[in-house]
């Protein structure tokens, strides 16, 4: 008799191209650890939670899994307890640096302008934002631990608009998962993260999520300032060059660093701008007179400056200002130095990526951050880059500013911020800048915002603070000491409305 045993049929699930669908990725489970933070005067109990939250399109399509590391105190009544969502920039950067660097409850101790040892031991951060707000650090999709969903086109989120949309959805997911809807909501971004904030504060409002305050550290809003040959680029750099020359004793000896920075700023506004606009119509004698004033400010010879028609490239300055000492200086923070390279390694693209201020802290910070995540019990991948160059190089810069025609690939998100403030006049914005930041010069920030022509009642809700730091304020302990009370006061201003 034939075998009549029945077998269970098997099925192969296929997608549109006929290939077998990839199995759902098994993600690490959320992990939480309880801590007690102290600054020597007060104590706070808080939970550190590392987790993935799904972000989805309106129709339920999975966009990706956003990694979030949050610090939430045990305060029972959270009605008035703010939540601040924090990130770095890149684009392509994870949120590790703005966490372990100086704003989270624990930090890598940095007390001087020099290379950090590795390993370092994180310690309680007396200048943390935790007394004022709960904190949520989010990695952009494709960076850190955050993942774009299999089958989802990453180009949809690797761009100015798609990125802001994904973060809006990530914030909504966290507020839902942690029962914090209608809490005072703040955004803290650094570098490209400030551009993200400018778009995001508008997008959040359009989706019914009100923003109480926005903190912009090392800001860039208009990318036109970064284009080769843009005169606004040269103008923004001069106060930074001057501060650096003053720091190294090449100019303004005996003059306060901020006084020297302000003097260069005034020179840019009153004289350099006019000279650059005139270009080759400027009389050579007048050009030399401007070059001589510029020489006094930035410490390079007047003939050197005139030969370049008052336009000094950043890498030219970085190589020249300390050439007699066999050193070159940083970009993120121009106070950091390293030994100059030999001519055989004189490739300009290579040199542009060399930065003593990044070398000083990034590797120790990354290692320490990984340890903090491990402590929660989260089983993440050993591969976690601070900056994904794949995301950075594939970024879509196209962005149509609200109310304008066309979608240029050189975005100006100051218009997004101006629109968001007009719609939500209760929101406040705090800009932090550093006089040694050559990545996002503070002059350019003020100029971009001044072109918004906001009414006085909105301008009164915007603050500008500049300190002695470079791009990453957490590289500079004196800056952290000054920022902490300024930030605490900023959060308290929500009670004035």
Weakest-pLDDT range from 110-114, 121-125, 226-230, 308-312: 110-114
Q: Can you list the positions of beta strands (E) in 14-153?
A: 31-38, 43-56, 62-73, 83-87, 106-107, 123-124, 134-138, 147-148
Report whether 92 contacts 468 (CB < 8 A).
no
Two tokens, residue 333? 């923070």
Q: Which tens digit of pLDDT belongs to each residue from 73-117?
A: 999 889 999 999 999 999 999 998 889 887 899 988 876 676 677
Residue 114 to residue 337: CA distance in whole angstroms: 8
Name 396's bridge partners. 159
Q: What is the mean pLDDT of residues 328-355?
A: 82
Structure tokens of 237? Answer: 């750099």
What does the pLDDT read at residue 57? Answer: 96
Residue-wise pLDDT for 38-86, tens only, equals: 999 999 999 999 999 999 999 999 999 999 999 999 998 899 999 999 9
d(CA 422, CA 155): 31
Looking at the chain, the whole-number percentage of residues with pLDDT higher than 90 is 73
Q: Which long-range contacts (CB under 8 A, 24 or more apart) does 439-442 make?
A: 439/191, 439/218, 439/331, 439/332, 439/470, 439/471, 440/191, 440/194, 440/218, 440/219, 440/220, 440/471, 441/225, 441/236, 441/237, 441/239, 441/240, 442/219, 442/236, 442/239, 442/466
Phi, psi of 215 (to 5 degrees): -115, 120
What was the pLDDT predicted at 111? 67
- The CATH fold assigned to 49-225+361-496 is Rossmann fold (3.40.50)
CA 12 to chain CA centroid, nearest Å: 45
Average pLDDT, the chain: 90
Taking the model in full, what pTM does it have? 0.91
What is the pLDDT averaged over residues 401-427? 92
What are the helix (H) ranges across 65-145? 96-98
Count of residues for the chain?
A: 497
pLDDT in tens, 15-44: 334 344 445 568 999 999 999 999 999 999
Residue spans per domain, the chain: 49-225+361-496, 249-354
Q: pLDDT band for position 465 (50/70/90)?
A: very high
């Amino acid at each position: 008799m034939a075998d009549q045993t029945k077998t269970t049929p098997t099925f192969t699930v296929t997608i549109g191209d006929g290939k077998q669908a990839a199995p759902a990725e098994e993600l690490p489970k959320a992990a939480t650890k309880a801590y007690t933070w102290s600054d020597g005067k007060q104590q706070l109990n808080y939970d550190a939670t590392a987790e993935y939250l799904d972000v989805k399109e309106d129709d339920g399509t999975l966009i990706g899994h956003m990694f979030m590391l949050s610090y939430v105190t045990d305060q029972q009544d959270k009605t008035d307890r703010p939540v601040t969502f924090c990130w770095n920039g890149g684009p392509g950067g994870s949120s590790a640096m703005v966490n372990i660097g100086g704003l989270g409850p624990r930090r890598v101790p940095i007390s001087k302008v020099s290379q950090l040892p590795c390993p370092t031991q994180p310690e309680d951060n007396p200048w943390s934002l935790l007394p004022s707000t709960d904190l949520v650090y989010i990695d952009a999709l494709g960076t850190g631990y955050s993942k774009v969903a299999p089958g989802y086109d990453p180009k949809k989120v690797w761009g100015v608009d798609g990125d802001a949309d994904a973060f809006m959805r990530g914030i909504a997911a966290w507020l839902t998962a942690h029962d914090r809807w209608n809490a005072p909501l703040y955004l803290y971004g650094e570098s490209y993260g400030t551009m993200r904030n400018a778009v995001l504060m508008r997008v959040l409002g359009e989706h019914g999520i009100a923003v109480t305050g926005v903190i912009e550290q090392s800001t860039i809003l208009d990318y036109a300032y970064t284009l080769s040959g843009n005169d606004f680029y040269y103008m923004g750099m001069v106060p930074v060059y001057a501060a650096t020359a003053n720091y190294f004793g090449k100019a303004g000896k005996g003059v306060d660093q901020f006084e020297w920075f302000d003097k260069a700023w005034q020179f840019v506004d009153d004289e350099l701008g006019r000279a650059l606009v005139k270009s080759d119509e400027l009389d050579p004698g007048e050009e030399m007179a401007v070059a001589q004033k510029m020489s006094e400010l930035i410490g390079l010879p007047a003939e050197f400056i005139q030969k370049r028609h008052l336009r000094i490239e950043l890498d030219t300055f970085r190589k020249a200002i300390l050439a007699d000492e066999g050193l070159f200086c940083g970009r993120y923070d121009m106070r950091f130095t390293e030994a100059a390279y030999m001519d055989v390694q004189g490739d300009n693209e290579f040199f542009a990526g060399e930065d003593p201020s990044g070398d000083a802290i990034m590797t120790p910070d990354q290692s320490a951050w990984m340890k903090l995540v491990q402590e929660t019990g989260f089983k993440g991948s050993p591969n976690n880059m601070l900056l994904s160059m794949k995301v950075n190089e594939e970024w879509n810069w196209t962005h149509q500013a609200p109310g304008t025609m066309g979608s240029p690939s050189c975005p100006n998100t100051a218009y997004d911020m101006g629109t968001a403030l007009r719609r939500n006049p209760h929101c406040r914005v705090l800009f932090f800048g550093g006089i040694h930041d050559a990545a996002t010069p503070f002059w350019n920030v003020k100029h971009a915002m001044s072109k918004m022509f906001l009414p006085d009642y909105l301008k009164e809700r915007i603050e500008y603070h500049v300190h002695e730091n470079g791009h990453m304020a957490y590289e500079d302990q004196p800056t952290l000491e000054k920022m902490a009370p300024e930030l605490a006061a900023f959060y308290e201003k929500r009670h004035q409305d």
